[in-house]
């Protein structure tokens, strides 16, 4: 683990465990005390809640559930592609890693299950659900160190593959730059989906650069062109049209979202998304 990532994790951990006050009502619910039912033990359940009498009789571990106890499954699904290898303040990939760390530590702090998922051109990698800080650190390190150049991201097929892989109803954070067509309709039918849009301000408000040599970070294709005022206007119009379609889609499926720029503090933006509490 490099020094930069260690510093990021230390900072993020301090923010989550020292600065968070209370529990967000949409994410982190408190435990109740009235017995409700028994169910078979699942990986990550608190072993202190195992009913040993029933376990002995049925030869399978069972845990007690209580009214008002709503342990959630928090999923941070990172859409990894070459377009994340860009940034004027810092690259978007680093922000994605920091967001994943914040969500992971927040889940651990509130005794919820956390699962990290990487969605890329080569498929998806879904980590085993965890309640341990070590598991969060390992996932964030894999995000930060991933070689994204040459990888493309599909916001239509990727979420559909996630739908098949993640069976348990979850609070699913989809983290990426959302620069291509999106379809989260199917995913939102099973999960509470929250979109975390990571952008660099230059992507939305570029300046004329004159003669430039451009390289597509996903395909490696190159282009020699003049990027002047007219090119900027056309580009901005395309970005605005794309984002308008994105926001319409998110509203249609009742998906909350937040946009985080590379020069902003992800922790502060996430806290504001959830009404000041997480």
State how far the Cα of 70 lies from the Cα of 68, in Å rounded to an integer: 6
Reported as a single tens digit per residue, the pLDDT across 80-129 is 999 999 999 999 999 999 999 999 999 999 889 999 999 998 878 999 99
d(CA 224, CA 231): 13
Q: Tell me the domain boundaries of the chain.
A: 3-22+72-273, 35-66
Range 3-22+72-273 classified under CATH 3.40.630.10? no
Higher pLDDT, 66 or 75: 75
Confidence category of residue 70, pLDDT binned at 50, 70, 90 = low
pLDDT at 21: 47
Alpha carbon distance 129, 112 (integer Å): 10
pLDDT in tens, 18-33: 865 444 433 344 343 4
231-250 pLDDT per residue, tens: 999 999 999 999 999 999 99
CA dihedral of 11, 14, 20, 26, whole degrees rounded to 10: 60
Q: Determine the pLDDT at residue 66.
A: 59
User: In the prediction, which pLDDT does 98 show?
Assistant: 97
pTM of the entire predicted model: 0.81
Q: What is the pLDDT of residues 162-221, one digit of tens each?
A: 999 998 889 999 999 999 999 999 999 999 999 999 999 999 999 999 999 988 898 889
Res. 38 pLDDT band, cuts 50 70 90: confident
Residue 98 class from Cβ within 10 Å (0-12 exposed, 13-18 middle, 19+ buried)?
buried
pLDDT at position 44 is 75
Confidence of residue 230 (pLDDT cuts 50, 70, 90): very high
Q: CB–CB of 83/123 below 8 Å?
A: no
Place 159 in a pLDDT band, splitting at 50, 70 and 90.
very high
């Amino acid at each position: 683990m490099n020094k930069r990532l260690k510093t990021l994790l230390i900072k993020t951990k301090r923010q989550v465990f020292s600065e968070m006050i209370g529990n967000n009502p949409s994410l982190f619910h408190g435990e109740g005390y009235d017995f409700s039912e028994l169910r078979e033990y699942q990986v990550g359940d608190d072993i202190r809640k195992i009913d040993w009498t029933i376990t002995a009789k049925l030869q399978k571990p069972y845990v007690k559930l209580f009214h008002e106890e709503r342990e959630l499954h928090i999923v941070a699904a990172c859409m990894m592609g070459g377009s994340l290898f860009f940034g004027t303040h810092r690259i978007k990939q680093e922000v994605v890693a920091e967001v994943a760390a914040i969500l992971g530590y927040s889940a651990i702090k509130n005794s919820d299950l956390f699962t990290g998922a990487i969605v890329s051109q080569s498929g998806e990698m879904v980590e085993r659900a965890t309640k341990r800080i070590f598991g969060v650190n390992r996932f964030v390190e894999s995000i930060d160190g991933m070689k994204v150049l040459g990888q493309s991201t599909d916001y239509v097929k990727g979420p559909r593959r996630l739908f098949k892989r993640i069976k348990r109803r979850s609070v699913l954070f989809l983290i990426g730059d959302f620069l291509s067509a999106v379809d989260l309709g199917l995913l939102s039918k099973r999960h509470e989906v929250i979109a975390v849009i990571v952008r660099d301000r230059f992507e939305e408000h570029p300046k004329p650069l004159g003669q430039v040599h451009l390289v597509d970070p996903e395909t490696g294709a190159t282009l020699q062109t003049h990027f002047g005022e007219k090119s900027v206007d056309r580009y901005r119009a395309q970005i605005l049209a794309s984002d308008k379609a994105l926001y319409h889609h998110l509203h249609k499926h009742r998906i909350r979202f937040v946009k985080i720029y590379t020069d902003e503090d992800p922790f502060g933006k996430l806290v504001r998304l959830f009404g000041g509490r997480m």
